[in-house]
Structure formats: structure tokens, C-alpha cells
């Protein structure tokens, strides 16, 4: 099903990666930019919250990891820098799981079920 964040592990590397690469737009508390639902800047929307109050949990791990890696393209959402080649697959996955550790159980369960459904593994539908 994918990598699962163990809350007992050291989160400092993922937190540092977030602070260095994501917090400028997504906020220090993962709160996103003001007006993220409506604002459009240079054909892109404002950065959504990653704290579970936005739409991030509505996307699969595959889609979220792909978004984290790619460069900004006008009209295609993600306005951040391309991080491809800057970090390892493990670092991307740890960052994603660290972000998901800030979501409520409801959002984590929904997203876990989505990942299961998309991978066609047996499980809740």
C-alpha cells in the first residue's frame, strides 16, 4: 500500500525538507496561501493547505509524489520548483508521509482507501 510514517521515528529530515522547499508557499504550519480556492496567479492557483483541510488527501500517493517532483507549468497547478534529482525517492516518500501525519484520521483513511482502490488491492471500496 505504500510507505507509512511511524510517528516514533525522527521527523527532523522531512520537517527540514518541508521548511526548505515547501513552507514558503504552503506555509510553516502547512496552512496554504490565503485565497487558495479562488486565487489565480500566472495561470496557477495559490498553494493549497497541506494540513488536511484542503484537497491534498483527495489525491493518490502516486499523484502527490509526481506533483512534488515536477517543475511548474502554467495552467497545471503546482507552481513550486522541480525537485526531481534534488532528493531521493525515499526522501520524497518520507516528506509525503510526514505531511500526511498532520491530517486527521478521516483524511488519512480516505486517502489510504483511495491508494488501495487505485492499486486494485483487496480492501475497502
State which fold the 12-119 domain adopts.
Cytochrome Bc1 Complex; Chain D, domain 2 (1.10.760)
pLDDT of residue 53: 92
pLDDT of residue 69: 80
pLDDT of residue 118: 86
- 72: nearest Cα among 30, 44, 31: 44
Is the alpha carbon torsion for 21, 27, 31, 34 positive or negative? Answer: negative
| 98 within 8 A of 18, measured Cβ to Cβ | yes
Top pLDDT among 80 and 116 is at 116
Contacts of 37 (CB under 8 A, 6+ apart): 45
State the residue for C-alpha cell 506533483: 67
pLDDT in tens, 49-102: 999 998 889 999 998 988 888 765 545 555 666 677 788 889 999 999 999 999
Residue 41: pLDDT above 90? no
Report the percentage of the chain scoring pLDDT > 90: 38
**What residue spans define the domains of the chain?**
12-119
Question: Strand (E) positions, the chain?
Answer: 40-41, 44-45
Amino acid at each position: 500500500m505504500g510507505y507509512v510514517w511511524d510517528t516514533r521515528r525522527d521527523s527532523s529530515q522531512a520537517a527540514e525538507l518541508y521548511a526548505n522547499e515547501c513552507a514558503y508557499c504552503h506555509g510553516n504550519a502547512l496552512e496554504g496561501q490565503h485565497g487558495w480556492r479562488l486565487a489565480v496567479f500566472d495561470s496557477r492557483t495559490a498553494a493549497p493547505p497541506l494540513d488536511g483541510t484542503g484537497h491534498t488527501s483527495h489525491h493518490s500517493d502516486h499523484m502527490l509524489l509526481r506533483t512534488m517532483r515536477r517543475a511548474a507549468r502554467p495552467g497545471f497547478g503546482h507552481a513550486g520548483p522541480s525537485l526531481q534529482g534534488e532528493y531521493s525517492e525515499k526522501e520524497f516518500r518520507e516528506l509525503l508521509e510526514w505531511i500526511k501525519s498532520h491530517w486527521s484520521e478521516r483524511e488519512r483513511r480516505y486517502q489510504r482507501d483511495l491508494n488501495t482502490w487505485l492499486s486494485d488491492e483487496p480492501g475497502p471500496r
